[in-house]
Chains A and B, each alone.
Chain A
Amino acid sequence: MFYREAGQFKTNHKADQAIFPIFQDRVGLSMIVAVAFLVPMFGSDFFLNSIMIPFLIFSLAAIGLNILTGYCGQLSLGTGAFMGVGAYSCYKLVTIFPEVNILIHILLSGFFAAAVGCVFGLPSLRIKGLYLAITTLAAQFFLEWCFIRIRWLYNYNDSGAIEVPNSTLFGIGISGSQATPTARYYAVLAIVVLLTWIASNVIRGRIGRSWMMIRDMDIAAELMGIKPLNAKLSAFAMSSYYCGVAGALMVFMWLGAAEVESFNIDVSFQVLFMVIIGGLGSLIGCFMGAAFIWALPIIIRAFPGFIGLEIGAATVEHIASVVIGALIIAFLILEPHGFARLWQITKEKLRTWPFPYS
């Protein structure tokens, strides 16, 4: 009805190559971004701090993992550790260069994660599939060990935790205890929007295609002149960069302090679930998956109180786990390709509605 591309003719390749060639898609995206920037005006601090900020951070981590798993086809269970590398290197950068702005440190810390990701990506040249997943699991445990044993990483403090100092941008606190959730939200949003835009650009170009070629048929990819080393390691590097930035954001813009438990295997699995439920090989799916896995439990836990039921906190917790588990199973049976596919089908249906065969 309203979602039609009728009359929108493309007369050159430039227009046809656009990410959103359909006008309604562009309007929709602008509206979503506009709403995202207006959220702090309506949302409470709790809403920003417990839902929106972590949702954006996990979306970024999911984009990172999706680049590797969804686009390049290399399964990884080391996401949590790569996020940790970003967080700890950001902490060290802040310690060593305290005068440099925190946002620059956060963006730089991703490069350390990228370097570590490349090293642990090397086995992917020989090992595929589940076996590769096990080697990334080794990365997870090895790096966790480093975060505990290399005391230099947390400046030899006794707690073993990293703590965030206060820092400002244009005189407004954006991280540490002084920063308001609104300021932190805008910092996170800006970084996530920027990196999502970059990811979408890389994915639709030569490099993104080389990843998908490796994913779909690695032998044929080589015959088209793709070097597996370059394609796989660039995917590992970019993926780990995103995870590293997400890890740094997690500590500096959300948690305020972190120790090794913040980057354990549970985080890796959580991000993997987001990617699978959101849809492998889709950027919008990363956001949907993160919303589902992160926000839904909070809503379910709040639900009994909302309708006035008096249930103990522990019981609510258990019920939430059961409901979410059941929802995940039901959803994966109904749509194994995740929210992204569901979204795509909806759009296809809308285009031809009410004439299903036109």
Chain B
Amino acid sequence: MTAHDITLHAPDDGIAEGAELLRVDDVTLRFGGVTAIEDVSFNINKGEIRAIIGPNGAGKTSMLNVINGFYHPQEGTITFRGEKRRAMKTYEAAASGIARTFQNVALFTGMSTLDNIMSGRSLKMNKSFLAQMIYFGPARDEEIEHRRKVEEIIDFLEIAHIRRQPVGKLPYGLQKRVELGRALALEPDLLLLDEPMAGMNLEEKEDMSRFIIEVNETFGTTIALIEHDMGVVMDLADRVVVLDYGKKIADGAPAEVQANQAVIDAYLGVPH
């Protein structure tokens, strides 16, 4: 199957390509006395690949957690598709079209690859409890309809051979791929990837980069990713935001950020 046969796509939200999809305004997140994120503002435009980078402990993952409603910032606002929101449950974020993957794979280990990706379709399935009890009829039709979509994802990610295997037994690289598949099954508007290439070898990184670019181009999904591999970030990202100790220190095109003195200092340190 080529990318052209894929019927999955980001929802049509009426936002033009390149217009603002999500804006983070002056967000501050504290855990007791620790300030994880301090007064950070940036935006993500429709259709772009936006990278969030920074040294360890900079608040990148916290930032993703704020965006998808897992943490609630003490100050600041998040505007998604022109709607301002502050405290939101994670399942509401999922319903509004935000999907994500985790730094340490968070798959449903007791379920097969197929069921894991099917689980991403949960929000789109709505047959009643009664229909599910009988199964034959509406519930089965719905199941098959979504199975088709899931098979598209399985083909796209080249994981057909592990369809029936429990994901707990899969090698790490494949687990990461299944997790991407599960997020894609939501057909999200905005896909948050938390270190999609951590712990991968060069070949796996190249595969993953290819998938990310294809998702962005063929599905039309906007992507925000955290990544430590600068080569990958510079190649993939349209724009990069740099965090250090919870503060934003740079924002712009990869080349600009690369030349920014504050960024170089944050990564390499400054002489005392």
Q: Which residues of A contact B (CB under 8 A)?
A: 13-14, 17, 198, 201-202, 204-207, 209-210, 212-213, 215-217, 219-227, 234, 281
Q: Is residue B34 within 8 Å, beta carbon to beta carbon, of the partner chain?
A: no
Whose C-beta in chain B lies nearest to the C-beta of A207? B132
Indicate if B62 sits at the interface (CB-CB under 8 A).
Answer: no
B12-20, B23-31, B86-94: which lies at the A interface? B86-94
**Which A residue sits closest to B136, measured CB to CB?**
A201
Q: 8 smallest A-B Cβ distances: which pairs?
A: A201-B135, A225-B94, A216-B108, A225-B123, A220-B106, A205-B132, A222-B90, A206-B125
Whether the Cβ atoms of B132 and A206 lie closer than 8 Å is yes
- Which of B107, B132, B148 has the most A CB atoms < 10 Å from its CB? B132
**CB of B95 within 8 Å of the partner chain:** yes
Give Cα A198 to B131, complex, Å: 10
CB distance from A49 to the nearest CB of B (A): 31
Q: Would A212 and B133 be within 8 Å (CB), given that A223-B94, A224-B94 are in contact?
A: no
Measured in the bound complex, the distance between the Cα atoms of B99 and A198 in whole Å is 32
Q: Is the CB of A202 within 8 A of B133?
A: yes
B57 on the interface (CB 8 Å rule)? Answer: no
Q: Which of A205, A210, A213, A219: most chain B Cβ within 10 A?
A: A205
Of listed B108, B111, B125, B186, residue having the most chain A CB within 10 A:
B108
Contact A222/B89 with A206-B127, A206-B132 known, Cβ cut-off 8 Å:
yes
The answer to whether A205 and B95 touch across the interface, beta carbons within 8 angstroms, is: no
Which of A201, A202, A210, A215 is within 8 Å of B122, CB to CB? A210
CB pair B89 A14 closer than 8 Å: no
Task: Please determine whether A226 and B132 come into contact, CB atoms closer than 8 angstroms.
Answer: no
User: Closest chain A residue to B144 by CB distance?
Assistant: A13
Q: A225 vs B123: C-alpha distance in the bound complex, in angstroms?
A: 6
Q: Interface readout for B191-227 with A: 1 if CB under 8 Å, 0 if not?
A: 0000000000000000000000000000000000000
Given A13-B148, A224-B120, A227-B91, the answer on whether A205 and B106 have CB atoms closer than 8 Å is no
* Interchain CA distance A202-B131 in the complex, whole Å: 9
Determine the residue in chain B with the shortest Cβ distance to A73.
B110
Neighbour of A212 across the interface among B102, B110, B143, CB < 8 A: B110
Contacts A13-B147, A201-B135, A224-B182 known; 20 new A-B pairs at CB < 8 A: A13-B144, A201-B132, A206-B122, A209-B111, A209-B118, A210-B119, A212-B110, A212-B111, A217-B106, A217-B108, A219-B70, A220-B108, A221-B119, A223-B68, A223-B100, A224-B120, A225-B94, A225-B122, A225-B123, A281-B110
CA distance A267 to B135 in the complex (A): 32
CB of A21 to closest CB in B, whole Å: 10
- CB-based contact B108/A225 at 8 Å: no
Complex interface: chain B residues within 8 A of A215 (CB): 108, 110
B residues with a Cβ closer than 8 A to A are: 68, 70, 89-91, 93-95, 99-100, 102, 106-111, 115, 118-120, 122-123, 125, 127, 129, 132-135, 139-140, 142-144, 147-148, 151, 182, 186
- Decide: A226 near B144, CB < 8 A? Known: A198-B133, A209-B115, A212-B108: no
Q: Residues of B contacting A206 with CB < 8 Å? A: 122, 125, 127, 132, 139, 142-143
B106 touches A225 (CB 8 A): no
Docked pose: A206 CA to B124 CA in angstroms = 10
Q: Which residues of A contact B186 (CB under 8 A)?
A: 224-225
**A212 pairs with B115, CB closer than 8 A:** yes
| Shortest beta-carbon distance from B135 to chain A in Å | 4
List of A residues within 8 angstroms of B94 by Cβ: 222-225
Residues of B within 8 A of A209 (CB): 111, 115, 118-119, 122
Name the distance in Å between B67's Cβ and chain A's nearest Cβ.
Answer: 12
Verify A223–B99 contact, CB threshold 8 A: yes
CB<8 Å pairs between A and B, sample of 30: A13-B147, A13-B151, A14-B140, A17-B143, A198-B133, A201-B133, A202-B132, A205-B127, A205-B139, A205-B143, A207-B129, A207-B132, A212-B111, A213-B108, A216-B108, A216-B110, A217-B106, A217-B108, A219-B70, A220-B102, A222-B90, A222-B91, A223-B99, A223-B100, A224-B119, A225-B91, A225-B94, A225-B122, A225-B186, A226-B122
CB distance from B80 to the nearest CB of A (A): 15
* B214 shortest CB reach to chain A, Å: 22
B168 closest partner in A (C-beta): A216
Q: Could you say which residues of chain B place their CB within 8 Å of the CB of A223?
A: 68, 70, 90-91, 93-94, 99-100
